[in-house]
Structure 1
Amino acid sequence: MPRTKTNPERSFATSFADEGPRAQAATGLVFLWAGLLYGAQTLAYGAIDAGMLTLTGVGHLILTIAPTIPFLAVIAFVSWQGRTSQKGVGTRALTACYTSAGLVNLVIAIAFGVLAARKGNMTIWLLYPIVICAMQGAAWYAACAIRRKVWLGVVSAGWFAVTVALTLLVTNVQVYLLVLGLALWALMAVPGYVLMRRAAKEPSHG
């Protein structure tokens, strides 16, 4: 019998084709809601800083926690849906990429939060989203390298551009929050929706 050579690139591509649509749909759903919820929250903070919106102490508390509750529900839904799926190597690569970025974001949030509280300096806390935007750029670049899709690279470039913009605007809080909020909608919610739409059109090979 003739021997069949194993092509690693073909195996990778086949695995990603099998699991790609499910992974894209789940990732897209998470990004869509994260971008919508936290983008709205950021713009609300910008409106407060600009004097366009006034909240009481309870209102501030609600604004602080409101996006997290539905977002955790989305995470729980995605986790429940994917509990029985067998993930291919491509899916595991992307999952590891985004999970590691998420863990780094959490650690950085704690570090910047503690430092800002100790120093009583809001500017320190404003540096945190800048780092997060850079991490988003890196994560989308990794996705671009894995999927080899130009539009993913465009999203990555957008996050890096926002990183630079926020750095220049760190002393102008109102514009800073406006740019960040719009970036969350344009570079997280919209790509999340695109991922979901593409997943719906991309057949899963069983």
Structure 2
Amino acid sequence: MNVDDARDDLAFIRALIAPEDHWQRQFGKLYAAAGACYSVQMLLHIGQFAGITPKEGLGAQAIGWGPSVVFLAILIWVIRRDGPRREGLTSRAVGAVFAAVGLTNLALCLTIGSVALRLHSLTLWLIYPCVVMILQGLAWLVAFMLRRRGWLGVVALGWFAVGVAMAFFIDNMVGFVAAATVGVVCFMLIPGLYLARQAGQDA
């Protein structure tokens, strides 16, 4: 390896680990929006247990799919409004991980969902949200490894714990939804709000 190659590699490594706090503004908004949408969904599921919200029919379908539709609309609106941003290598790396996790979730939904539908197995389908929580933990763990901030690691471990807890309660829907609620509030809504707030202070 010549001197120029070594210099380029060193510059790349420095850029990768350099602190970049502005990357988190848009991501924080979107993650908080997702947390808000799915927190409402968890409350509606709790309402189903209490007999307040519908358990069957179009109402139940709206509870199942509505939050994702609303979040998708918010995602498109925020991206179109804010437009493209110049980002450093760390920002692109973190963003790529979360984007990859999102696409992986879609593939898992189609895979597990198709088998669960074919076998008429609710338990098999409920494995999917458990895996989603674990993959969220994976994305935050990568962010922690890149950014080296302790709270990112705490969020990652929290997601792992939520995924395991949901699997433990897979035959107990009250416990299952309670664990999921802790996940979306504590490890999605709150971190998203924190990121957006910190970005606002740093701007």
For 2:53 and 2:75, the matched residues in 1 are separated by 31
Q: Note the residue ranges of structure 1 that are not aligned, 5 or more in a row.
A: none
Partner of 1:123: 123
- The one-letter code of the counterpart of 1:12 is L
Alignment of 1:87-106 (within 5 A): 87-106=87-106
What secondary structure sits across from 1:93 in the alignment?
helix
For 1:51 and 1:85, the matched residues in 2 are separated by 45
Partner of 2:16: 12
Partner of 1:28: 28
Rate the CA distance shift 1:84–1:99 in 2: closer, same or farther, 3 A: closer
Q: Note the residue ranges of structure 2 that are not aligned, 5 or more in a row.
A: none
Partner of 2:133: 133
Partner of 1:69: 69
- The one-letter code of the counterpart of 2:130 is I
Rate the CA distance shift 1:84–1:130 in 2: closer, same or farther, 3 A: closer
Alignment of 1:34-49 (within 5 A): 34-48=34-48
Residues 1:53 and 2:57 aligned together: no
Rate the CA distance shift 1:73–1:142 in 2: closer, same or farther, 3 A: same
For 2:26 and 2:40, the matched residues in 1 are separated by 21
Asked whether the 8 Å contact 2:17–2:146 carries over to 1, the reply is no
* RMSD, aligned α-carbons: 2.0
- The one-letter code of the counterpart of 1:124 is L
Partner of 2:186: 186
Asked whether the 8 Å contact 1:137–1:157 carries over to 2, the reply is yes
Identity of aligned residues (%): 30
For 2:177 and 2:43, the matched residues in 1 are separated by 6
For 1:108 and 1:183, the matched residues in 2 are separated by 19
- The one-letter code of the counterpart of 1:129 is P
Deviation (angstroms), 1:63: 2.0
- Cα deviations across residues 103-162 of structure 1 (Å, max 9, x unaligned)? 111100111111111111100111011111110111000011111110000000101111
- Cα deviations across residues 8-35 of structure 1 (Å, max 9, x unaligned)? 3433345x53xx41x2011111111111
For 1:31 and 1:100, the matched residues in 2 are separated by 15
Aligned residues: 195
Asked whether the 8 Å contact 1:162–1:180 carries over to 2, the reply is yes
Asked whether the 8 Å contact 1:46–1:173 carries over to 2, the reply is no
- The one-letter code of the counterpart of 1:41 is Q
Deviation (angstroms), 1:82: 4.5
